[in-house]
């Protein structure tokens, strides 16, 4: 997220700025515009679909973001408890990581993806994190 907020991810736009040949440079999800960090996490219709689905899943109002930094800051504006904000923040980080992974799987492995698959992957990862968090608390309590 730190690298994304600084526009330091190797998107097609960023690679092109460094004179790396990247084909037509369009977004691998939608193909509608040039792929940039802002587009990948906010402007792309795939990202918008992911945020809508995850806002519903987290029971928070739908939000509009224009950059990765907006995604990070959005959590602090929610009228929720700190514990829920921490969970939502984890979901958002997981969603960004999953979108990057889906993008890379499509580019390097030709694996197709869609909003439903990305959201399902985020949800399953969320349950693993919850399991690992509980396991960590149990381990700490036993010592
Ligand atoms: Zn796109």
34: β partners: 26
The pLDDT, as a whole number, for residue 131 is 67
Distance 99 CA to ligand 1 centre (A): 11
Q: How far apart are CA 48 and CA 53, in angstroms?
A: 9
The pLDDT, as a whole number, for residue 143 is 59
Is 13 or 128 the better-scoring residue by pLDDT? 13
The pLDDT, as a whole number, for residue 87 is 83
Q: For residue range 79-136, list pLDDT tens digits in order.
A: 888 888 888 888 888 899 999 999 999 999 999 999 999 999 999 987 777 766 666 6
Distance 21 CA to ligand 1 centre (A): 19
Distance 30 CA to ligand 1 centre (A): 4
Is 122 or 23 the better-scoring residue by pLDDT? 122
Distance 89 CA to ligand 1 centre (A): 23
Distance 70 CA to ligand 1 centre (A): 18
- Dihedral sign, CA of 93, 96, 102, 106? negative
Distance 76 CA to ligand 1 centre (A): 26
Count the helix, strand and coil residues of the chain and give each as a percent rounded to the nearest 5: 70, 0, 30
The domains of the chain are located at 37-142
Q: Phi and psi dihedrals of 112, rounded to 5? A: -70, 155
Q: For residue range 39-80, list pLDDT tens digits in order.
A: 999 999 999 999 999 999 999 999 888 988 888 888 888 888
Distance 71 CA to ligand 1 centre (A): 17
Distance 31 CA to ligand 1 centre (A): 6
| 97 closest CA partner among 74, 70, 125, 77 | 125
Distance 29 CA to ligand 1 centre (A): 5
Cα 59 to Cα 5, 62, 68, 84, distances in angstroms: 25, 9, 21, 10
Weakest-pLDDT range from 2-6, 32-36, 75-79, 137-141? 137-141
- pTM attached to this predicted model: 0.85
């Amino acid at each position: 997220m730190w690298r994304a907020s600084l526009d330091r991810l190797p998107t097609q736009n960023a690679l092109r700025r460094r004179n790396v040949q990247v084909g037509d440079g369009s977004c691998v999800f939608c193909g509608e515009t040039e792929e940039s960090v802002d587009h990948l996490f906010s402007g792309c219709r795939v990202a918008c679909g992911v945020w809508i689905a995850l806002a519903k899943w987290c029971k928070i109002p739908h939000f509009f973001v224009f950059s990765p930094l907006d995604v990070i800051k959005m959590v602090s504006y929610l009228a929720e408890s700190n514990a829920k904000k921490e969970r939502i923040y984890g979901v958002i980080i997981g969603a960004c990581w999953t979108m990057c992974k889906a993008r890379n799987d499509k580019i390097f492995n030709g694996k197709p993806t869609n909003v439903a698959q990305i959201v399902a992957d985020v949800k399953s990862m969320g349950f693993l994190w919850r399991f690992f968090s509980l396991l960590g608390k149990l381990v700490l309590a036993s010592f």
